[in-house]
Chain A
Amino acid sequence: MTPLQTPEPYDPVLHPPLQPLPGHKSGSILERALRRGWFAITAELNPPDSADPRDVLKAAEPLKAVADAINATDASGANCHMSSMGICSILSRAGMGIVLQISCRDRNRIAIQGDVLGAAAMGVGNILCLTGDGVGVGDQPGAKPVFDFDCMSLLRTLKTMRDEGQFLSGRKLSTPPDIFLGAAENPCIPPYEYRAARLEKKVRAGADFIQTNYIFDVERFRTFMNQVRDMGLDKKVFILAGVGPLASAKTARWMRANVPGIHIPDTIIDRLERAAKPAEEGKKLCIDIIGQVREIEGVAGVHIMAYRREHLVGEIIEESGILKERLAAKGAPNPTPSA
């Protein structure tokens, strides 16, 4: 294996993590974009089943030009892939903005708090705290589910590490991690009436930003956002709506039946079914949904999950016109994470 070639090898001494701006919690580019009022873009990276770092860089290639941060998933769907920490180490060396995803399913409080320090030292500015899907839906259903934390106690613990400079054990940190804390929300699944209350609890626990699960039912999302605004939560947390292109009606049906927490209305599946080119229609649908969620007050950005369709992310962003508007409105260059 030839050594990894990156445009600018990351050296934690020569290139320390970006310093937080005044009033900011991290040096994260995502946080800067959000606090400037820009419509932020994050994108999920499809983690390789490989030990070759080039596979990670290849997967990041179509995302890095358009995303303020790339999400490194932590065995999502309880399927084993390269770890989120491994992906972060490669992407941070290449100078990209990253969201480290931490699921409570696989590691206990000792492992997680240690990983957070390691990640922050590598220059990871954003951490997404997740409960995690049950082990039963993954490729190794016999694994032991850990769930030492839940997403809320994890958020509060990381907030304690950052703001109080302590582990949960009370031991002091000589340098606390400067991290922008994220959490997920799934507005389109039951119990709908309590999803906004759950979001409020995540904000109390310490969430600075939210990435939602897939929004295919814009009406339901709009109702959720109405509640969110009524509670004033859109002023306390940045909400990024989760979107993604569907490949076909068949994929949509499969996802709906097999992936926990995905709600796809029949109207969407019908639209894909009727389309002459379902993949093209799936992309168009994604762009339509981006257009619709952008109109909703309180939505601060989009989170694109294009599983096995990463090549489309550039086109989706391009055609949705987010970056063009950002340039026009601010007269400033896009703060690309690859810069």
Chain B
Amino acid sequence: MYAVRRFAVRHSRFVERFYQSFERVIISLDPIFRRIGYGRLEKPVAFTEKVVKGFLFDCKMCGQCVLSSTGMSCPMNCPKTLRNGPCGGVREGGFCEVKPEMRCVWVDAWDGASRMNEGAERIKIVQPPVDRALEGSSAWLRVAREKAEAHSSVPANTGKQTIADAFKRAREFEPASAPLASEPKTASTTPERLK
């Protein structure tokens, strides 16, 4: 909802703090998730995530959430789905080029970032293009897998590794933005043979 997502941007500092604690909880749950099986968890968690983040941020379930780097304004609400800042068509007063009745998602993003602790620095980091194969999957579970597998030696997928290297800074803060950890079958729409 437009009003709620703008509320979240206005209260980005609180949302940021909440999210940081929430992320720690999610990551600490990795051993339990692993026991249950990420594959089995994918559907219910993705559903919950869609409902909660859909209400709060008009989340589009790109599966690679970078809200903490975009001032708590979801970049997928930009009609051009820009992940790195506004386009050159922003209207007077900070309104969207494509949807003139909507505030530019990125004008809001910078506004939100300026109120956050780390947001103002993180918004400067160049974000990678989204992996469209991960659309609809849970970013929460992906964050847990990424952080948990960060220190284990996972056989690198060359394609993913190149993106991860090219967007190293983005991965430092939001590893799910260019994920390297293994994906459960249910989380990706890319057929196994193409991986």
Contact = CB atoms under 8 A, between A and B. Distances in A.
A149 B129 contact: yes
A198 B85 contact: yes
Interface in A19-43: none
A260 B88 contact: yes
Nearest to A131: B87
Contact of B127 (A145, A153, A169, A170): A153
B82 A166 contact: no
A137 B107 CA distance: 21
Contacts of B98: 134, 136
A189 interface: yes
Contacts of A134: 79-80, 89, 97-98
A152 B162 contact: no
Contacts of A157: 129, 166
Contacts of B93: 190
A162 to B, nearest CB: 12
B107 A191 contact: yes
How many residues of B sit at the interface, in one of the four size bands?
35 or more
B97 A205 contact: no
- B interface majority secondary structure: loop
Interface string A194-206: 1001101100110
A190 B89 CA distance: 9
A169 B158 contact: yes
A213 B87 CA distance: 12
How many residues of A sit at the interface, in one of the four size bands?
35 or more
B110 interface: yes
B162 to A, nearest CB: 4
B159 interface: yes
Interface of A: 104-105, 109, 131-134, 136-137, 145, 147-153, 156-157, 159-160, 164, 166-171, 184-186, 189-191, 194, 197-198, 200-201, 204-205, 213, 260-261
Interface of B: 79-94, 97-98, 104, 106-107, 110, 124, 126-129, 132, 158-159, 161-163, 165-167
A-B pairs with lowest CB-CB distance, top 10:
A260-B89, A170-B158, A186-B88, A152-B84, A170-B162, A134-B98, A261-B88, A153-B129, A261-B89, A150-B82
Given A132-B80, A171-B158, 20 more contacts: A133-B89, A145-B79, A147-B81, A150-B85, A153-B127, A167-B162, A168-B129, A168-B166, A169-B162, A186-B88, A190-B104, A191-B90, A191-B94, A191-B106, A197-B110, A198-B86, A204-B124, A260-B88, A260-B97, A261-B88
